[in-house]
Amino acid sequence: MALLGAMIKTLMAALLALGALALPSQAATFSMKRGLNLDQWTTWTGEEKWNDPNAILPYPEWRKFLKEDDLKALKDAGFDFLRMPVDPSPFLSDETLSLRDDLYASVRDSARMINRAGLKVIVDLHLIPAGGNRKIGMGEVMEDPATFDAYVEVVRKMAHTLSGEDPGQVAFELMNEPIVDCDGNGTNLWPDRQKKLFAAARSSATRLTLILTGGCYSNAASLAKIDPKAIPDDNIIWAFHSYDPFLLTHQGATWAGDFIRYVTGLPYPLTAVPRARLDVALETIRDRIRAEAPWTRRSGMLAYLDEQVASMDTPDKLVGQMDGPFRTVEDWAKANGIKPQDITLGEFGMIRQEYGNAYVMPAEYRAAYVKDMIERAEAHGFSWSVWGYGGAFGIVDAFDGDKAEPNVMDAIRSLR
């Protein structure tokens, strides 16, 4: 009887252990707090060169410019993780057929390099528009079923490539800012597509935390349309992005629509300067629109400018606009039992300088905006990652090897 009792106890212990393995984790394995987005492409290598290992490897391209000491400096500045954008287009191009394994391995090695510097990493599949030097981008993946299926396989293979990494150090984001479900006719394609991507990733990487998001550029309202119960897995972090108010954060960006390119010279906040000085800046923008914008768009742009300014021309109005996305996400999270630590503000920031444009946003405005957004994220218990290391929004590097002003980095260092 004693032997039988011992056997029963052993069996029960084994069953309990199996049951524990089968239960959801109740929280993401990967944890993070303060992060920075790395650069994606810097020299924008054309697709015709993607078959040349000297042109495309190591991958991502920041590996050619940043060393481990540069990454360690980010750790010393107070970051605990980096979001590493990886352009999936080369993995979808016929030009890279002979280099595919090397590309996947290079992404894994890049993640390990970040880990060696004492930083966690999110591997972020980061589609951009096609055109010019590339055939496949966000539009092709979203609009062509065969291309989307090919993208699903990239997600599966990338997950497999990362599956052996420490799940406390590496997480995987399946798609950055999906451009779908942005129309007003009730289209709701993204949830099913994200389920397919999730299934592909989870089948290959059972332990990794996966980063999921809403449609339409990962905005807060789109995340709030997602039913997290449709993906029964607790090892997930939910991401949203916010660059509100767009009028101020994207001044001069030629790639962000046909209006914002004419807008430069506005302070953050608008009340940071006397009203007379603000009026001069606004009239300069109006003159630019009248002189340069297509005549069929001028009156609409002028009216839109006035509307946007009126929505943020007092401190209370600006606070309401900037708080909105955070409240939306918090309400959604509470309604669905999602803990604040399983939500991340994956992107935010303020442009420094559009490439080729002489106007440089004053550094004190950028630092003030980033600090205000960080305070909001941390007040809600969300992690965050500012955009980005270099380029138009760079907080470390500017263009052509120059350094960005230290103000934003100093604001981040002061958090400790």
* Beta partners for residue 211, in sequence order: 173, 237
What residue ranges do the domains of the chain occupy?
29-253+322-414
| pLDDT value of position 216 | 96
Instruction: Give me the residue label for tokens 């972020």.
Output: 124
Q: What is the mean pLDDT of residues 117-130?
A: 96
pLDDT of residue 109: 98
- Residue 47 near residue 93 (C-beta atoms within 8 A): yes
Q: Mean pLDDT score of the chain, rounded to an integer?
A: 92
DSSP 203: H
Task: Give CA–CA dist 218/178, Å, rounded.
Answer: 7
Residue 347 Rama label (left phi>0; alpha psi -120 to 50; beta): beta
Q: Given pLDDT bands bounded at 50, 70 and 90, which one contains residue 41?
A: confident
At 118 the pLDDT is: 98
Strand-pairing partners, residue 269, are none
Say how far apart CA 112 and CA 385 lie, in whole Å. Answer: 19
pLDDT of residue 11: 40
Q: With a cut of 50, say whether residue 308 has pLDDT above it.
A: yes
pLDDT digits (tens, 9 = 90+) for 49-69: 999 999 999 999 999 999 999
For the stretch 282-296, what's the b/e string if a residue is b when 16 or more beta carbons lie within 10 angstroms of its beta carbon? beebbebbeeebeee
pLDDT of residue 132: 78
Q: Provide the pLDDT for residue 26.
A: 60
Q: What does residue 150 show for φ and ψ, rounded to 5 degrees?
A: -65, -35
pLDDT at 6: 45
Residue 236: pLDDT above 50?
Answer: yes
Yes or no: say if 86 and 39 are a contact pair by the CB < 8 Å rule.
Answer: no
| Residue 230 pLDDT > 50 | yes
Alpha helix positions (H), 23-99? 53-56, 68-77
CATH architecture label of 29-253+322-414:
Alpha-Beta Barrel (3.20)
When pLDDT is averaged across residues 108-137 and rounded to a whole number, the result is 95
Q: What's this model's pTM, rounded to 2 decimal places?
A: 0.92
Confidence at 24, pLDDT banded by 50, 70, 90 = very low
Return the bridge partners of 240, or none. 345
Assess contact for 210 and 235: CB atoms under 8 A.
yes
Q: Looking at residue 86, what is its pLDDT?
A: 97
Do the beta carbons of residue 226 and residue 338 sit within 8 Å? Answer: no
pLDDT tens digits for range 319-333: 999 999 999 999 999
Confidence band of 356 (pLDDT split at 50, 70, 90): confident
Please determine, for residue 45, whether its predicted confidence score (pLDDT) is greater than 70. Answer: yes
Q: What is the pLDDT of residue 288?
A: 97
Which of 20-29, 40-49, 68-77, 356-365 is predicted with the least confidence, judged by mean pLDDT? Answer: 20-29
How far apart, in whole angstroms, are the C-alpha atoms of residue 371 and residue 399? Answer: 23
Residue 361 tokens read as: 């946003």
- Residue 415 is predicted with a pLDDT of 93
Say if CB 213 and CB 178 are below 8 A apart: yes
Residue 105 · residue 66 · CB < 8 Å: no
Q: Of 342, 359, 416, 351, whose CA–CA distance to 390 is shortest?
A: 351
Please state the rounded mean pLDDT for residues 160-175: 98
Question: Sorting pLDDT into bands at 50, 70 and 90, what band is 184?
Answer: confident
Distance separating the N- and C-terminal Cα atoms of the chain: 62
The SS3 of residue 393 is: helix
Cβ partners under 8 Å of residue 374, min gap 6: 34, 384, 386, 411, 412, 415
The residues, ordered by sequence, that sit 6+ positions from 13 with a Cβ below 8 Å of its Cβ are none
Q: Pull the structure tokens for residue 157.
A: 């293979």
pLDDT band at 403, cuts 50/70/90?
very high
Predicted pLDDT of residue 13: 38
User: For 85-97, what is the mean pLDDT?
Assistant: 96
Taking the alpha carbons of 46, 48, 51, 55 in that order, is the dihedral positive or negative?
negative
pLDDT at 44: 79
| Residue 10 predicted with pLDDT over 50 | no
With a CB cutoff of 8 Å and minimum separation 6, the contacts of 18 are: none
